[in-house]
Amino acid sequence: MCANALAKAGVNVRIVDQRADKIPAGQADGIQPRTIEVFQSYGLADRLLKEGNHMHMAAFYNPGPNGIQLTDRVPDVTAPTARYPFEVTLHQGAIEAMFLDSMKSMGVEVSRPIVPTELSLNEDLVGDPEAYAARVVLTHLDPPKGKSATEIVHAKFVVGTDGAHSWVRKRFDIAMEGSQTEYVWGVVDMIPQTDFPDIRNKSVIHSENGTCMVIPRESDIVRLYIQLEGRDAVDASSGRIDKARMGPEKLLEVASKSFHPYTFQKPEKFDWWTIYIIGQRVASKYSVADCVFIAGDACHTHSPKAGQGMNASMNDTHNLAWKLAFVLRGWAGLSLLKTYELERRNYAQDLINFDVQWAHLFSGKHRTELNQDGISHEDFLKVFQTFGGFTSGIGIRYEESAIVNYGAQPCARNVLIGQRMPPQVLIRAADFRPFELQDLLPSNALFKLLVFTGDSTEMLEASLDPLIKKYGHALQVITIVSKRWPGFSLADIPAVLRPHWSRVFCDEKDARGTQGGDAYATFGIDPIAGAFVSVRPDGYVGMLAPLGSPGALASYFDSFMQ
């Protein structure tokens, strides 16, 4: 995600990986609705949707008189504005392959197997984004014959996306704050032979014999998460997982007890398996001297139960990449980079707070007549649905900063400042073609200025011209008129609002009346007064302003642009 986004922004990027090859199977596999939107913004969603399994429904099983029974089925995604109201599940190797192919088309390939062995900052150069302040020694684990195993790279910036045991993080003694839980989970990937009815839905199984989760995947594969008794898989003396104590057959055996009366036949093979203890930790800081950054598992570890891991990680660098690009282009000062830690570390802490509750519910005992302190299905469902906005990624909201100005929320009551711009179908003025607004906001490392003109475009030319003269290099204007007013003609739209015929839209339904319309109403924008909506390059709403206050726009950009 990081290297691809930087390459797309025109940044000269080098990416190294200690693995000799891309991941073949297993690992993370759940892509949340907001992350699908992000993939779409990079032009990667078509392939993701084609290759991945789509998970629409969540089923809940609880103890009944003869083993487990279905208690409820609910939509897996409850966030009402999610453009893709489902999760995609696909093994990590296939997801990596999309990024590798995308990068390759831009001339960037991963160098492997390579590890960093030294990383130092030149204190005289730090703070100058033009200077190569970081010196990285790379060690090639499998150097070509006769070639040196070490290589020195001078970089303007370094991003450590090197996992839970991050070398970069350790190099700078960045602490992980939080604790290990007592929860131990096993994971198996396989093509199941079973009579369990919800094997192709996300299923949460609470039984008298333990807790399991079913995650269906591509090509008939299913992943089972199986809660284990710590003593079965943990070495008592070290407190660490001992994978020798338990193989996938044993894991499936444990699961089978929970699924009774449904059965699993032993599969032909297991595609992947693992056992882990849930740790819930966040790095104490995300950057060193605004020059070295860490992202992904290097910054946060938590349970995979809510399917957040890969999503949290990819969205870290989706957040960081455009900021680096702006600094490298000389458009913004280094202080812009501080918003990365602000936004993503707070999010990671929220994630871990959620995870604590979720893991407790997940691993807890089911409420029964004898155990009234147990967790009822209603408790569970309430948390599942209350946190739907959070787990889908749709509800994530960045707090106030130079690039998030909460001031003028009433201009567009339902376009929440700090959240991602919601989807909405608009009709293009010139040719009546319906467009999804989110598709007008690609991750191209440019701001988008949405001008909801209301019922007139008079006055806007004079008021917007100075802003476009100053910051036009960094933003794209998209014009959305409230309707084709009497005598509407594209030719009458001022040039500043119409850099190309394709950039003017109307808030109308399509010719069939099946999509589009009501954008102003949905967004809470007055159809006469209109509004400015400034969308950040990562798709998040940076600020709003009344059409009469172009000065507010200028002040916003002045605060971080140079």
Scanning residues 483 to 512, which ones bind a copy of itself (CB under 8 A)? 489-491, 501, 510-512
Taking a C-beta distance cutoff of 8 angstroms, is the pair 544, 450 a contact?
A: no
**Is 304 designated active site?**
yes
Of 63, 178, 186, 216, the one binding a copy of itself (CB under 8 A) is: 216
Calpha distance 244→540 (Å, rounded): 46
Calpha distance 390→306 (Å, rounded): 10
Confirm or reject binding of residue 85 to a copy of itself (CB under 8 A). yes
Which residue among the candidates 116, 216, 304, 537 is catalytic per the annotation? 304
Taking a C-beta distance cutoff of 8 angstroms, is the pair 546, 529 a contact?
A: yes
Of 195, 249, 399, 455, the one binding a copy of itself (CB under 8 A) is: 195
Smallest distance from a copy of itself to CB 490, Å? 7
Query: Going residue by residue from 439 to 478, which x/- string records binding to a copy of itself, judged by CB under 8 A?
Result: ----------------------------------------
**Is 29 designated active site?**
yes
Which residue among the candidates 83, 217, 397, 503 is catalytic per the annotation? 217
Q: Per the structure block, which two tokens stand in for 189?
A: 């990937």
Confirm or reject binding of residue 430 to a copy of itself (CB under 8 A). yes
E-assigned strand segments in 44-161: 53-55, 57-64, 67-75, 87-89, 110-111, 114-121, 134-140, 150-155, 158-160
Which is nearer to a copy of itself, 43 or 333 (by Cβ)?
Answer: 43
Q: Per the structure block, which two tokens stand in for 28?
A: 């993370």
Smallest distance from a copy of itself to CB 74, Å? 8
Of 40, 201, 287, 308, the one binding a copy of itself (CB under 8 A) is: 201
Smallest distance from a copy of itself to CB 173, Å? 47
Count of C-beta atoms within a 10 Å radius of residue 558: 13
Taking a C-beta distance cutoff of 8 angstroms, is the pair 213, 202 a contact?
A: yes
Q: Per the structure block, which two tokens stand in for 426?
A: 């608009």
Phi, psi torsion values for 63, nearest 5 degrees: -60, 135
Smallest distance from a copy of itself to CB 492, Å? 10
Taking a C-beta distance cutoff of 8 angstroms, is the pair 189, 309 a contact?
A: no
Which is nearer to a copy of itself, 200 or 245 (by Cβ)?
Answer: 200
Which is nearer to a copy of itself, 132 or 501 (by Cβ)?
Answer: 501
DSSP result, 18-77: SSSS---S-S--EE-HHHHHHHHHTT-HHHHHHHSEEE-EEEEEEEETTEEEEEEEEES-
Task: Name the CA dihedral angle for 500, 506, 511, 517, rounded to a multiple of 10 degrees.
Answer: 140
Confirm or reject binding of residue 193 to a copy of itself (CB under 8 A). no
Smallest distance from a copy of itself to CB 264, Å? 14
Quick one: which H or E segment has residue 315?
helix 309-328
Of 42, 60, 61, 86, the one binding a copy of itself (CB under 8 A) is: 86
Q: Which of 304, 187, 162 is nearest to 241 (CA)?
A: 187
Q: Which of 254, 228, 200 is nearest to 58 (CA)?
A: 200
**Is 217 designated active site?**
yes
Calpha distance 339→403 (Å, rounded): 8
Binding-site residue total for a copy of itself (CB under 8 A)?
A: 28
Which residue among the candidates 225, 286, 540, 556 is catalytic per the annotation? 225
Which is nearer to a copy of itself, 75 or 230 (by Cβ)?
Answer: 75
Taking a C-beta distance cutoff of 8 angstroms, is the pair 515, 509 a contact?
A: yes
**Is 225 designated active site?**
yes
Confirm or reject binding of residue 30 to a copy of itself (CB under 8 A). no
Taking a C-beta distance cutoff of 8 angstroms, is the pair 475, 497 a contact?
A: no
Q: Give me the residue label for tokens 């599942």.
A: 384
Confirm or reject binding of residue 197 to a copy of itself (CB under 8 A). yes
Which is nearer to a copy of itself, 165 or 433 (by Cβ)?
Answer: 433
Question: How many residues does this entry show for the chain?
Answer: 562
Query: Going residue by residue from 36 to 75, which x/- string records binding to a copy of itself, judged by CB under 8 A?
Result: ----------x------xxxxx-----------------x
Smallest distance from a copy of itself to CB 219, Å? 11
Smallest distance from a copy of itself to CB 191, Å? 11
Of 112, 135, 140, 200, the one binding a copy of itself (CB under 8 A) is: 200
Which is nearer to a copy of itself, 75 or 239 (by Cβ)?
Answer: 75
Per DSSP, the three-state class of 106 is coil
Q: Per the structure block, which two tokens stand in for 433?
A: 């073609």
Which is nearer to a copy of itself, 55 or 519 (by Cβ)?
Answer: 55
Confirm or reject binding of residue 394 to a copy of itself (CB under 8 A). no
Of 432, 473, 521, 558, the one binding a copy of itself (CB under 8 A) is: 432
Q: Which stretch binds a copy of itself (CB under 8 A): 5-13, 121-129, 196-204, 530-538?
A: 196-204
Calpha distance 133→137 (Å, rounded): 13
Q: Which of 1, 29, 33, 26 is nearest to 15 (CA)?
A: 1
Q: Which stretch binds a copy of itself (CB under 8 A): 94-102, 129-137, 191-199, 466-474?
A: 191-199
List of residues contacting a copy of itself (CB under 8 A): 46, 53-57, 75-76, 85-86, 195, 197, 199-201, 216, 430-434, 489-491, 501, 510-512
Please give the positions annotated as active site. 29, 217, 225, 304
